[in-house]
Amino acid sequence: MKVSARNAFRGRITAIQPGAVNAEVTLQTSGGDTLVAIVTEGSVKSLGLVVGKEVVALVKAPWVMVATQDAGLTFSARNQLAGQVSTLSKGAVNSEVGIALPGGTEVFAVITNEAVSELGLTPGKAASAIIKASHVILAVPA
C-alpha cells in the first residue's frame, strides 16, 4: 500500500451509526479484531460505505497511546486493542512499539522513551493500543 500511515487494518464494515455531521463506522478485521472509526457523513456517501463493504482503517503511529494492564483506568477511546509487545525500536527521544494482537494483527505506536520506561515495556509484556475513533481514517480499495 502506498500511504504513509504505519497502521493499515483491513476489514469489513459490521455497523454504521449515523449522525448529523459524523457517523460511527465499526469494522472487523480478518483476524477478528474490532475497530471503530468516526468519519463525516459526507465521507460515508462519497465512499459508498455500507455494512459488509471491505475497507482499510489507517492510523499513524504517533496517534496511538499505549497502556498496560495495571493502568487502573477505563478509557473513552473506542479502540482498545489488547495484545503483547512484539517489537521495540528505540530512537533518541521516541520509540516505536509494536503490539501483536491475538488475531495476528500488529499495531504500531510512537511514544516517548520515558513512557517506555515508565510502563516497563519489554517484548512479551501485555499491553493495549488505545486509538480514538476520530483518529482513524477509512480507505476503500479503488
Distance CA(68)–CA(47), nearest Å, equals 36
Give residues 56-95 in contact with a second copy (rule: CB under 8 A).
56, 58, 60-63, 65-68, 70-78, 91-94
Alpha carbon distances (Å) from 71 to 4, 5, 75, 93, 118: 31, 27, 10, 23, 11
Does 29 participate in binding a second copy (rule CB under 8 A)?
no
All three cell numbers of 34? 474490532
Among 12, 47, 86, 103, binds a second copy (CB under 8 A): 47
Among 82, 88, 100, 140, binds a second copy (CB under 8 A): 140
Alpha carbon distances (Å) from 75 to 20, 83, 87, 131, 133: 25, 16, 24, 10, 12
Residues in contact with a second copy by the rule CB under 8 A: 1-6, 17-24, 36-40, 42-43, 46-47, 49, 56, 58, 60-63, 65-68, 70-78, 91-94, 109, 111-112, 115-116, 118-119, 130, 132-135, 137-142
